[in-house]
Amino acid sequence: MKFQLTSTPLYEIKTDCLIVPVFTKQRGNWVATALDEKAQGAITKVIENGDINGELRQTLLLQAIPNIAAKHILLVGCGPAHKINAETFKQIVGTAIQAIKNTDIKHITSSLHTMDIKEHDANWQIRQFIMSMTHHTYQFNQFITKPIKTSKISDIHFWLSDTLSMPQARLAIKEGCAFANGISLCKDLANMPANICTPEFLEKQAFKLASSFSSISVETLDEAEMKKQNMNAFLSISQSSKHPGRMIVMHYQHDDASNQPPIVLIGKGITFDTGGLQLKPAASMLSMKLDMCGAATLFGVMKAIAELKLPLNVIVMIAAAENMIGRNSIRPSDVIKTHAGKTIEIISTDAEGRLVMCDTLSFCEIFNPAVVIDVATLTTAVISALGSVYSGLFSNHAPLAKSLIKAGIASADKVWELPIEDEAYRDLLKSNIADLTNASSTSKEAGAIAAACFLATFTKKYQWAHIDIAGTAHVRSNHQPTGRCVPLLLQYLINYANQMTKE
Ligand code: BES
Ligand code: MN
Ligand code: ZN
């Protein structure tokens, strides 16, 4: 799919389909009104006929419109203009794309980015359109052997009204494409089944990314090297599988940022989570190839920042392992010693994410990070707390949490902060025989917070945030990955880069 700009007057644009918003109240209908004047009232007529009244989720495809060069006009209902926000805008774009994606329309020109949305200007709307278009036409068809139908849409033009600046809109397209490509890469990796997507497969993907961008380099630690580093918490999980674990370190380095301390991003990459000896029940195991969504997100982020050439120094670490059941599985009640030297009593073999993460979190100190952010499908408890709307945010540094919340709102990929600072929560992880447990032995309460508190024990030396994406990374009803947190983290990194260049 190609995305471009056009400043030809709307009625003169030669395209298969012109996409035009209509609102329930007159306000905001200026694009439609301008076209209508040229088209001898053709749009007013269908509205007066009651064919469309501008309500959300309505569409109407017109053809052979007098004095209009476009073959079709797609009118898209948007509801009242003053009620549009980031969420409704996504719905509107989604509705428009659904209406045409299975038709013969190849070339479209959109004017949907002309809406008046608080804090989300036309450039944001262009970026969002590109992401929605990519999302609604995404298919994972690598394992389907018979030919399948794909959308014919190939060229998308954004209509450039007088109020938009060409360079700004160009940047919006560039960013939109980078975000969308990052999300698609995240989805591709997440969709890959666990018999193929092993820790070694993820390692290969990292080298593949590094071979396409000279700004990215890769180093990995195999199990023998992790043993030397005393990463026994990590190994206690990876040892259960015939697929050996990997700690994958991808380094993105822009020339202008060589003296910046790195931003370290860490992703949970459990390629399959059976639960270990405390085996998960059948229904909840089915989606557990998606337990590497944190890792998949960071692959997407890495690709996008390299595409955008952000002036940053970013290290992505992937904790890749499989949590299997077998004779090498760790037992509940075992005690292990972490890379940081703390001992852990295993209460649950299903609380494996925090075990691979804690060694990665303490290991990353060697990079002297400016900040560390980890992303993980860590707990079912965060699903109970926030559902699929917000990802759970935890941090030991208030300004960092604030920046992430801000980036979440700006990218419409929201996070909600939950507390970890209270000492009382740490009681959930008290052990009788070790420094701490990996899960509470007595209570199921505050599960997402308990997990975050566990991680917090290993992140005392730097500014850190943890994002629990168990509720947002995939859709529970159909096990489809969402790409959530790719937009959030990219927006955070763009803001960070802007901040650095200002200073
Ligand atoms: N990967 C799961 C969490 C998960 C569940 C993510 C469902 C997405 C959808 C994680 O490893 C896990 O099993 N967590 C346990 C921890 C508990 C045993 C302390 C949980 O939350 O139930
Ligand atoms: Mn688990
Ligand atoms: Zn897990």
Domain count, the chain: 2
Taking residues 411-433, report their average pLDDT. 94
| Domain finish residue from 104, 132, 161 | 161
- Of all ligands present, the nearest one to the C-alpha of 348 is 1
Is 382's C-beta closer than 6 angstroms to any atom of ligand 1?
no
Q: Is the pLDDT of residue 31 over 90?
A: yes
**Inside any domain, residue 168:** no
Amino acid letter, 337: K
Co-location of 89 and 185 in the same domain: no
Is 190's C-beta closer than 6 angstroms to any atom of ligand 1?
no
Co-location of 76 and 188 in the same domain: no
Is 291's C-beta closer than 6 angstroms to any atom of ligand 1?
yes
Q: Find the 394 Cα to ligand 1 centroid distance in Å.
A: 17
**Inside any domain, residue 169:** no
Is 130's C-beta closer than 6 angstroms to any atom of ligand 1?
no
pLDDT at 422: 83
Q: What is the mean pLDDT of the chain?
A: 96
Q: Find the 249 Cα to ligand 1 centroid distance in Å.
A: 25
Establish whether 83 is a catalytic residue: no
Co-location of 191 and 86 in the same domain: no
**Inside any domain, residue 172:** no
**Candidate of 284, 380, 477 to mutate for ligand 1, largest count of ligand atoms within 8 Å of Cβ:** 380
pLDDT confidence tier of residue 25, bands split at 50, 70 and 90: confident
Q: Is the pLDDT of residue 26 over 80?
A: no
Give residue-wise pLDDT tens across range 444-502.
899 999 999 999 999 999 999 999 999 999 999 999 999 999 999 999 999 999 999 88
Q: Find the 102 Cα to ligand 3 centroid distance in Å.
A: 37
Nearest residue CA, atom 5 of ligand 1?
Answer: 380
pLDDT at 162: 84
What CATH number is given to the structural domain containing 125? 3.40.220.10
pLDDT at 449: 97
Co-location of 313 and 402 in the same domain: yes
Co-location of 156 and 270 in the same domain: no
Is 198's C-beta closer than 6 angstroms to any atom of ligand 1?
no
Co-location of 275 and 412 in the same domain: yes
**Inside any domain, residue 175:** no
**Candidate of 378, 441, 443, 477 to mutate for ligand 1, largest count of ligand atoms within 8 Å of Cβ:** 378
From 269, 227, 230, 273, select the one nearest 250 (Cα to Cα): 269
Taking residues 407-436, report their average pLDDT. 95
Establish whether 127 is a catalytic residue: no
Is 175's C-beta closer than 6 angstroms to any atom of ligand 1?
no
Token reading at 363: 């290991």
**Which of 289, 354, 414, 484 is an active site residue?**
354
pLDDT at 423: 84
Q: Find the 462 Cα to ligand 3 centroid distance in Å.
A: 25
pLDDT at 351: 98
Find out whether 400 and 465 touch, Cβ atoms under 8 Å. Answer: yes
Give residue-wise pLDDT tens across range 190-212.
999 999 999 999 999 999 999 99
Co-location of 12 and 142 in the same domain: yes
Is 313's C-beta closer than 6 angstroms to any atom of ligand 1?
no
Percent of the chain residues topping a pLDDT of 70: 100
Give residue-wise pLDDT tens across range 278-302.
999 999 999 999 999 999 999 999 9
The larger pLDDT score, comparing residue 161 to residue 90, is at: 90
Give residue-wise pLDDT tens across range 355-373.
999 999 999 999 999 999 9
Q: Find the 348 Cα to ligand 1 centroid distance in Å.
A: 10
CA distance 117 to 174: 21
Distances (CA, A) of 292 to 361, 382, 384: 17, 17, 20
Q: Is the pLDDT of residue 428 over 90?
A: yes
Find out whether 176 and 126 touch, Cβ atoms under 8 Å. Answer: yes
**Inside any domain, residue 378:** yes
Backbone angles phi, psi at 425, to 5 degrees: -65, -30
Co-location of 139 and 266 in the same domain: no
What is the CA angle 268-271-276, rounded to 5?
A: 95
Co-location of 418 and 273 in the same domain: yes
pLDDT confidence tier of residue 240, bands split at 50, 70 and 90: very high
**Inside any domain, residue 324:** yes
Give residue-wise pLDDT tens across range 258-274.
899 999 999 999 999 99
**Which of 227, 280, 337, 461 is an active site residue?**
280
CA distance 78 to 496: 34
What CATH number is given to the structural domain containing 415? 3.40.630.10
Co-location of 116 and 197 in the same domain: no
- Of all ligands present, the nearest one to the C-alpha of 438 is 1
pLDDT at 163: 83
| Domain finish residue from 126, 161, 196 | 161
| Domain finish residue from 127, 161, 195 | 161
Q: Is the pLDDT of residue 243 over 80?
A: yes
Q: Is the pLDDT of residue 59 over 80?
A: yes
pLDDT at 443: 87
Is 36's C-beta closer than 6 angstroms to any atom of ligand 1?
no
pLDDT at 27: 78
**Inside any domain, residue 263:** yes
Co-location of 438 and 467 in the same domain: yes
Kindly give, in sequence order, each residue whose CB lies less than 8 Å from that of residue 482, ignoring residues fewer than 6 positions away.
187, 472, 473, 474, 475
Structural domain for 132, as ranges: 2-161
Q: Find the 107 Cα to ligand 1 centroid distance in Å.
A: 44
Is pTM beyond 0.75 here? yes
**Inside any domain, residue 420:** yes
Q: Is the pLDDT of residue 34 over 80?
A: yes
Half-sphere exposure of 289 (CA within 13 A, CB side): 17
Co-location of 15 and 76 in the same domain: yes
State the Rg of the chain over Cα.
25
What is the CA angle 317-321-323, rounded to 5?
A: 145
